[in-house]
A and B are shown apart, each in its own frame.
Chain A
Amino acid sequence: MKVSKEIQALIAERLPGHSLDAPFYLNPEIFEMDIREIFGKHWIHVAVDPDIPEPGDYVTVEIGLNSIVVVRDDDMAVRAYHNVCRHRGARLCSEHKGSVGNLVCPYHQWTYNLSGELIYAEHMGEKFDRCKHSLKSVHVENLAGLIFICLAEQPPADFAVMREAMAPYLLPHGLQDCKIAKQVDLIEEGNWKLTMENNRECYHCATNHPELTASLFEFGFGYQTAPGNAEQIGEFNRLAAERCAEWERGGLPSAEIERLDELVSGFRTQRLPLDRAGESQTLDGKVACGMLLGQFERADLGGLSFWTQPNSWHHFMSDHIVSFSVLPLSAERTLVRTKWLVHKDAREGIDYQLDNLTAVWNATNDQDKRLVELSQQGARSSAYQPGPYSPFTEGLVEKFCTWYIGRLQAGLSAPETASVNVLRRMD
């Protein structure tokens, strides 16, 4: 990886336990490095199964300058291709979402089947070898309905570790039998890492998220005990342990798995009790959807949080799932894509009210957007210098940053595979 001496120094000299140096949030060169090293080489969460429920359904996603089309094939498998025609490179699918028979370039109608093979190209003569012009495929993994892609030639192999650990947690929620009740794309005027850092702590929750904390205990993500909250924390810990044991007896894995900074495909999960009615992340803690997910017979199953490095988090509940995907747009702009999923047979207005379903996270997202943008503004100031993370409430933020810096270092020390490939192709 080619980076300037200055940036190499910033990576090498990052002060552990502290927020990142300002250039990590501002510098376009570091942004390009992020796209190449982080988003170009790791498993990126881009879609959910219900985005593409039927054969021929596709979604497109932009990662840096790359557009990827994720499509369900005729065998119901999920495939991903570079959204680039092998003729003269035109974009194949220009919509965010759609449905196709085959993938057809709108420019000259080169036609690819859903296996990426070029099956039709007019006027190309006898000697033209269609087999040499298949779509460029992108690695894709489907974890219990969460779709990840990897742009690297060799994707991180430890996705299997995450799959093995997470499948038992996620599968009971039946994401594959859900539908997207609502999707909201929010653009935050801030660096993607600030979005992620903000997500990895609940230090800010009590004061900033009145809607979210109606049901969510902020203690679940690390808290410093003090005389004023000792009783509450003790009560939460007792409740968590009790409920956790109860859920696990009922066949729902609940215990925390936290491997955020030790795996290349870092992740964390935990099922935590919810406040009030204890059923769902809603204003009253009751289910937002009368039709429960999977085979659930009871609603008070708390909230299962699942986080992945570098770009997603999800809340799985008994009645609905909220899924978040973070996609960087520029050094100081980030797309936060939120999807609310309910059982595919649930009827809007009857089994659920969309406003009630989305109230908590619509409000929370707006609040988080403001917080991220405040941070971004601060990072632009000459007075900004990395500040210390709370050892109690911000340990997981630190793990995100540790993972991030570690992945950059791994990239820095890796052989120059990309440039070698370029030379080989020129031969």
Chain B
Amino acid sequence: MDINKLNRPNFWDAMPPLWNSDREDSLVCCQVRAETHDVKSFFFVTPDGSGFIFQPGQFITLELEINDEAINRCYTVSSSPARPHAISITVKRVPGGPVSNWLHDNLKVGDKVKVLQPAGEFTCAIHPANKYLFLSAGSGITPLMSMTRAHHDLCDDRDIVFIHSARTPDDIIFERELGLIAASQQNFKTRFICERLGQRRDWPGPTGMLSLAALKLMAPDFMEREIFVCGPAPYMKAVRNMLDEAGFERTHYHEESFSFETLQLETEQASTANGATPISSELAALTGFEITFQKSNRQIVCGPQQHVLEAARNAGVRLASSCAQGMCGTCKVKLISGSVDMQHKGGIRQREIDQGMVLLCCSKPLSNLVVDK
């Protein structure tokens, strides 16, 4: 591989010739970057120095041979088409995922990988708008990152709100780069929402799942925006429902599934978890409920299968509690509004329940809640 391209005579005199996978089906891995503890970006160049042309948001297809088995995987490109000399994909490890783990564990600089031409319709390039809303979750960030980088590279200071959902602050992919872009583009705004705090207890952003309320807070004018969404299937379904609920016009809504293996896995998990949940509660089942702690003025989101205390703890809300089994009653609070499914073990009396008291450690929300705490 020619690492001295940068200093080659005449290299900067012209744009590179265009890569065509029909002619040259292999790319060379030229760099591997660790983005988070379980996400890596893989950068590729062509052996002959030709460049990449694609629209931000499109995907490439990797043709891999893993354990003597041919496997094709589509990955959306994370790099910007305005930087045509290299192309990158950003891959998150998926527990049990054959391809993502293989890439993480095996693909190294110098390796050749068979790749098919960029393709796909999920791109802002063909949907011009003055205002965009990018919504992503997990490694679904990649196509939107490509779009964001493209705008940045082209000095196109478009009005973009980019809301990314992650498990914890340490799972936010491209956090610093997005911050940098937001700092240099006046109209670009980025927002992160994390399910829980994880190691970074001082993280100042909101915790929970994306909800309509949270969306309204972060992008009050979302109804006027062209929306691009990428993330796990349940996430996108939740977003769809959320936007439907708000009455959002579907023609301005675009979504992309970012990785088939992840999609499949997560769809399976989601369908197992939800079982025969009626449609009406599906939205909640995917987005969770808002829990408001009135006295401490905190809002969190709690999944429908999650105990409120656990969600509060994950979000860094400190509540008095002990047994976490509904026995000791330490976490007893007054529920100002909303209803819960409480499975206690003697830590609360029926008449207390009748008076509106609940034990948060053994209560799962059935609606949004307001708690006197």
Contact = CB atoms under 8 A, between A and B. Distances in A.
B306 interface: no
B322 A122 contact: yes
B330 interface: yes
Given A109-B323, A122-B322, A55 B330 contact: no
A69 to B, nearest CB: 16
A101 B322 contact: no
A101 B349 contact: yes
B327 A111 contact: yes
A109 B322 contact: yes
B346 interface: yes
B51 interface: no
A104 B330 contact: yes
Contacts of A122: 322-323
Nearest to B323: A120
Nearest to A109: B322
Interface in A316-330: none
B348 interface: yes
A56 to B, nearest CB: 5
A67 interface: no
Contact of B347 (A55, A99, A101): A101
Interface string A110-122: 0101000001101
A99 B349 contact: yes
Interface string A84-102: 0000000000000001111
Contact of B330 (A56, A99, A109): A109
A54 interface: yes
Interface in A282-298: none
Interface in B9-55: none
A56 B325 CA distance: 18
Given A111-B328, A120-B328, A101 B348 contact: yes
B320 to A, nearest CB: 9
Interface string A137-168: 00000000000000000000000000000000
A102 B347 contact: yes
Interface in B312-346: 322-323, 325, 327-330, 344, 346
B351 A104 contact: no
Nearest to B326: A101
Given A109-B323, A111-B323, A101 B346 contact: yes
B329 A104 contact: yes
Q: Which of A55, A119, A122 has the most CB of B within 10 A?
A: A119
A100 B329 contact: yes
A102 B329 contact: yes
Nearest to B321: A109
A109 B349 contact: no
A99 B352 CA distance: 9
Q: Which of A56, A99, A111 gathers the greatest number of chain B CB atoms within 10 Å? A: A111
Contacts of B329: 100-102, 104
B202 to A, nearest CB: 26
A326 to B, nearest CB: 32
B349 A55 contact: yes
Contacts of B327: 101-102, 111, 119-120
Contacts of A104: 322, 328-330, 347
A100 B359 CA distance: 13
Max chain A Cβ within 10 angstroms of own Cβ: one of B325, B330, B347, B348 = B347
B343 to A, nearest CB: 14
Tell which of A101, A102, A104 has the most Cβ of chain B within 10 Å.
A101
A56 B347 CA distance: 10
Contacts of A100: 329, 349
A113 B322 contact: no
Contacts of A111: 322-323, 327-328, 347
A109 B327 CA distance: 10
B330 A113 contact: no
B361 to A, nearest CB: 12
Nearest to B330: A109
Contacts of B349: 54-56, 99-101
A65 B328 CA distance: 27
Interface string B179-220: 000000000000000000000000000000000000000000
Contacts of A113: 346
Interface in A54-72: 54-56
| Residue from B322, B344, B352 having most chain A Cβ neighbours under 10 A | B322
A331 to B, nearest CB: 40
Given A113-B346, A122-B322, A102 B328 contact: yes
Contacts of A101: 327, 329, 344, 346-349, 352
A104 B346 CA distance: 11
A323 B323 CA distance: 40
Nearest to A121: B323
Nearest to B332: A101
A42 to B, nearest CB: 33
Contacts of B346: 101-102, 113
A376 to B, nearest CB: 44
Nearest to A114: B346
Nearest to B351: A54
Contacts of B347: 101-102, 104, 111
A109 B332 CA distance: 13
A54 B325 CA distance: 23
Contacts of B323: 109, 111, 120, 122
Residue of B322, B327, B328 with most partner-chain A CB within 10 A: B328
A148 to B, nearest CB: 26
Nearest to A119: B327
A83 B304 CA distance: 40
Nearest to A110: B328
A92 to B, nearest CB: 12
A113 B327 CA distance: 9
Nearest to B348: A101
A90 B344 CA distance: 25
A324 B138 CA distance: 70
Nearest to B329: A101
Which one of B327, B330, B344, B348 has the greatest number of beta carbons of chain A within 10 Å? B327
A54 B351 CA distance: 10
A101 B346 CA distance: 5
A124 to B, nearest CB: 12
A54 B355 CA distance: 15
A33 to B, nearest CB: 40
Contacts of B322: 104, 109, 111, 120, 122
14 contacts: A54-B349, A56-B349, A99-B352, A100-B349, A101-B344, A101-B346, A101-B348, A102-B346, A104-B322, A104-B328, A109-B322, A109-B323, A111-B328, A119-B327
Interface of A: 54-56, 99-102, 104, 109, 111, 113, 119-120, 122
Given A111-B322, A111-B327, 20 more contacts: A99-B349, A99-B351, A99-B352, A100-B349, A101-B329, A101-B344, A101-B347, A101-B352, A102-B329, A104-B322, A104-B328, A109-B328, A109-B330, A111-B328, A111-B347, A119-B327, A120-B323, A120-B327, A120-B328, A122-B323
Ranked nearest first, the 8 interchain pairs of A and B with the lowest CB-CB distance are A109-B322, A111-B328, A101-B347, A120-B323, A104-B328, A101-B329, A56-B349, A101-B348
